Chains A and B, each alone.
Chain A
């Protein structure tokens, strides 16, 4: 079969981009056209992704690279390119599919918004940039798309700009990730300086191929840590995780698409993409840069899971869960389990989108309420949302066997347990799994079980256009597990480029029992702790969380997100403010004086030249033409002598040039 798309990969991001541009130029009233265009663009992108995916199945280690010259200056040739390999193809499929579900869901969710068309323009723009990011074959091109998704994220978090909190969250997200991007950019420059190319694969001379890697030497560790800092910012890893929970101020479909399934996973994807740089000079699969990745990941995973327990906002809980899961993926990459990390990324993309859209459906039904303590008993009124949400919850917690999330988690556990350097990450992750099951159980009990509370009034199930994507994603969540099982680890084999074998005896691995025990422990603990949540129990008032009642200090510590924001406020931000005030003072009293001085000179010059042009020369001609009616009189007045000024300039100009020539000669 001849797959044209493989050599024209740029079309995949180009179509959503084009859709976005067209939607932007529509007037606000064309709501249906806007949604139709966006969905059509996404369907086209999905179709092309499938077409690109098919040929990667035919051969192992499939990789097609297409490089082109971006521009040339002197001897330097700057080249960019696109690459299609199993990693890119798998990401394309996930992004396009999840994106499509979210686009459809948004039609219902944003139905009453007055900037409906603008929303779809931004979504399409994001989708194009994200699809471009995963097929970039150049660190520079990847960085361009990386910044574009950052821009889309900024625009969409602050979509309801009239809310001060949304505007603040957008700024926070933009600036925090920008700190990470600074590292990324420096790392990129350093890499270019050492290897002379930013292409990943270029027939043996790319920076990820042996010839390019050989040029790096010892600087590779620092380069790659700088690049990793960009991934830390984008993927909400400690210490730059603070923007992600605040980003929940954006519309829920945005949270699902950008801040759960795709963009935040870009950091993990980046690490996987430049993995040869990380593992350069590895002894037994361990390098110092990878060790950093592991510990950052472990810290993030555990910290975020703890904080999630004490949150009351339905979306914030999911946001911290995302942070925690991204940490888990980083751990997996760090210990060498690249396929496991990517598989978890893909599975997480499906079930976390499902959870977010479910949360969106709940919020939509509860007329905008976010606080889980005010909900309760929703399972009877919102059955579809409840069932799909429960599926997502079980996948996220890692309930074994039936859900995709469990298979990937087992693989991660397996990889982590065999890390030669230390066993601590393994045990910490085990704790993280219990916590995950615990906070998800808490959330489900609060929202769907128990007595109906304040916000459960007049609740309705969401319209079909919203429940259909939920069902589709729930099915994806379950059936995606088929290619993940240890009996037929097809995806693992696909990513590593080995043939997959079916072997039923491998279905049950030791890790199966480990995770079964852990998840059961978490769920049981959750049920025991929160069985009476939301209702009055003994001397505890109904609105107090059981954990808060038992451990007020601990709960406050967690509910306030470990006071990390406050810590940054007192240190980094206070320092920036001081710097800003100093610069402000310099600007007002020093630079401004200079600029005003220059400006005055410029103004004088402008006034002079304008008056010469407009009054001196033009006025002569204008006066002769003023009041004239026809060409004949105009011609006759040219004899008045005024036009000679006009032509005199030509003569003077020529004389001046001649003098210049003569003076130099």
Chain B
């Protein structure tokens, strides 16, 4: 294969990497200027430095957004099917679709960055965000364990930095540390699991592993390998009990980082987890039906799903900070999504991907609203949202769309996500073996309605607290960000009205 052809097929990743480098360079050069000015005018350094940083931020975000848009364009022009380096990187309709989705999510995260005042080095931040996006793309487009691990690490290392990026906030540092320790431990488990699998099968390509495993009898070491591999992903998707990092990361990290972790990182992890279990570990599917449990990865994922749904929803009930609430609800949603993988087959996978995609869109939107409210009121507790309806009917309306979609109220995307998942799970087994899991999930959704509606009650019914009502920084029309939030709300509504627009595409793209 010629390098030119390689460049053509990897052009999407290349564009994003180049953009990252350009953004980094701009960030560094303008920063030097800013320092120079600060030295010159010792008196007004805070002022000058601030405005210069805001300008850098604007330029860098614009370039990053532009780069992502171009990369999305190149992704649209990729061939339908291609294989690079004997399966290290593949191009299929599924990978192209999810590359575009990941980049779109990153695009919105970049838009959120624009208004984040606490980021003192926007160039570096955006460069890392773009590198994390490359990690996402490597993850979704690989069918080879080693490459997947490299993607995981690129993503993980970028995210650790992004979480701890706000150097003015001690909570950001704490979150970063927790995320890092937890993540590196999980990575270690995963790497160990992968090496065991490699030891058993002698190969790292998923399809070949599947063939090998079909002939191998069940051995304890193989079970250890599978469970350990899954743990790394359970950490990434924040499934209980590997979720402990999530509340702090969601609350402490800069908002774009939190939005990115909750959306892009999750979507890509589900894509690759689905590939690993449904392609690589296909012979060891097992059965999670209540009357006929058979050892395999599906009872393991079913246990994770049930525990995540219960823990996530119950703990979310007790939260009074919106970002913590979103974190625990994310745990629950990871549980719902796993149901699709447990159900197995193409339909289950496509239902899980539909769910996680709509969930990611919803959550980026919700974080967008949080970011705007935080700018106005300097906080993201419930009290900061009280009476939002009178301050901004638009944001309140969008937030209610996001919350109701998360709760699964028709006609919003979340409803059809749950509908597909549950109906797939019920039909997966002739004896309705997964009924127990669906029952747990329905029970969990019932509980979740309570805390989502509490958020809406705070927004629509509660009187704004005095401190907020008299805050002078009342109107800070960040038009671009408002438009982004409105667009996301419209997408959530659209996918609820016309679920087939995405669901049919997903099903068709399934291998």
Contact = CB atoms under 8 A, between A and B. Distances in A.
A582 interface: no
A609 B177 contact: no
A629 B169 CA distance: 10
Contacts of B228: 654
A661 B223 CA distance: 7
B182 A73 contact: no
B420 interface: yes
Interface stretch (B71-79, B105-113, B254-262, B313-321): B313-321
B244 A646 contact: yes
A606 B315 contact: yes
Interface stretch (A220-228, A268-276, A617-625): A617-625
Contacts of B241: 649-650, 652-653
B498 A70 contact: yes
Interface string A58-89: 00000000001111111000000000000000
Contact of A643 (B181, B186, B296, B304): B181
B498 A635 contact: no
Interface in A566-618: 602, 605-606, 609-610, 613-614, 617-618
A634 B177 contact: yes
Interface in B211-225: 218, 220, 223-224
Interface residues of A, number: 46
Interface in A633-659: 634-635, 638, 643, 646-647, 649-650, 652-654, 657-658
Nearest to B188: A650
Contact of A628 (B170, B185, B423): B170
A550 interface: no
Interface stretch (A23-31, A242-250, A370-378, A445-453): A23-31
A631 interface: yes
Contact of B423 (A74, A605, A625, A652): A74
Contacts of A71: 416, 499-500, 503
Contact of A657 (B227, B235, B311): B227
B293 interface: yes
> Which among A72, A602, A609, A649 has the greatest number of chain B C-beta atoms within 10 A?
A609
B500 A657 contact: no
A504 interface: no
B295 interface: yes
A635 B173 CA distance: 10
A173 B155 CA distance: 57
Contacts of B248: 618
Given A649-B244, A654-B231, A662 B223 contact: yes
A650 B185 contact: yes
A665 interface: yes
Interface of A is mostly: helix
A296 to B, nearest CB: 33
A660 interface: yes
A664 interface: yes
B224 A658 contact: yes
Interface in A20-60: 21, 24-27
Contact of B504 (A72, A647, A658, A660): A72
B216 to A, nearest CB: 14
B244 A660 contact: no
B299 A634 contact: no
B393 interface: yes
B468 to A, nearest CB: 17
A664 B286 contact: yes
B231 A650 contact: yes
B427 interface: yes
A657 B224 CA distance: 9
Nearest to A655: B227
A70 B227 contact: no
A665 B218 contact: yes
B178 interface: yes
Nearest to B184: A647
A638 B486 CA distance: 43
Given A605-B310, A661-B226, A662-B223, 16 more contacts: A21-B397, A24-B397, A73-B420, A74-B423, A602-B447, A606-B315, A609-B315, A613-B244, A621-B174, A628-B170, A638-B181, A646-B182, A647-B181, A653-B242, A654-B228, A657-B230
Shortest Cβ-Cβ A-B pairs, 8 listed: A25-B394, A664-B295, A665-B295, A606-B314, A653-B241, A661-B223, A71-B499, A625-B174
22 contacts: A25-B393, A25-B486, A26-B393, A69-B500, A70-B498, A72-B507, A609-B311, A610-B314, A622-B174, A625-B170, A625-B174, A630-B173, A634-B173, A634-B177, A638-B181, A646-B181, A647-B181, A650-B189, A661-B299, A665-B218, A665-B223, A665-B295
Interface of A: 21, 24-27, 68-74, 602, 605-606, 609-610, 613-614, 617-618, 621-622, 625, 628-631, 634-635, 638, 643, 646-647, 649-650, 652-654, 657-658, 660-662, 664-665
